[in-house]
């Protein structure tokens, strides 16, 4: 069996706030939450087999530079959906702006940034 992605872990300013909009937009569940390194909080949100680990430091978060210019930076997280138009409606209702729409073989995509500036790509395959 080839390797599969189980989770990705990244830093957010407010793990509960991020988890709330992810539950609403993506239909995910909080799998676990608890104490984390350096007195922070870790919250795992996703499905039974894949999730994102949201790390919230104990002290204020410093926003990083443009990740596309930072070695080791997180450029974006891509998610596949069945109905891209429905998700775009939810993204807009959540207060985010859908940008960089494109149709390409074999599907369609758009991007949005959350309140921490993290970029998400939404894809629907034909």
> Residue ranges per domain, the chain?
1-60, 75-126
Look up residue 124 and give its two tokens.
Answer: 């629907």
Query: How does pLDDT run across 44-103, given as a tens digit for each residue?
Result: 999 999 999 999 999 977 777 777 887 788 899 999 999 999 999 999 999 999 999 999
Strand order in the sheet with 107-113: 77-80, 119-125, 107-113, 99-104
For position 61, what pLDDT does the model report? 74
pLDDT of residue 58: 94
**Which overall architecture, per CATH, does domain 75-126 show?**
Roll (3.10)
Tell me the per-residue pLDDT of 1-30, one tens digit each, with 9 for 90 and over.
Answer: 999 999 999 999 999 999 999 999 999 999
Kind plus residue range of the DSSP H or E element containing 4: none
Structure pTM?
Answer: 0.93
Question: Helices 15-26 and 84-93 sit at what angle, rounded to 10 degrees?
Answer: 140
CATH 1.10.10.2520 fits 1-60, yes or no: no
């Amino acid at each position: 069996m080839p390797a599969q992605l189980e989770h990705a872990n990244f830093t957010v300013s407010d793990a509960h706030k991020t988890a709330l909009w992810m539950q609403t937009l993506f239909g995910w569940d909080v799998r676990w939450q608890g104490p984390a390194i350096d007195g922070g909080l870790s919250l795992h949100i996703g499905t039974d087999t894949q999730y994102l680990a949201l790390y919230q430091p104990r002290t204020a978060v410093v926003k990083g530079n443009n990740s596309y210019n930072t070695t080791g930076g997180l450029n974006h997280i891509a998610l596949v959906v069945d109905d891209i138009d429905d998700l775009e409606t939810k993204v807009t209702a959540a207060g985010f702006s859908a940008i960089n729409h494109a149709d390409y073989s074999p599907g369609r995509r758009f991007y949005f940034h959350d309140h921490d500036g993290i970029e998400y790509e939404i894809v629907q395959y034909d």
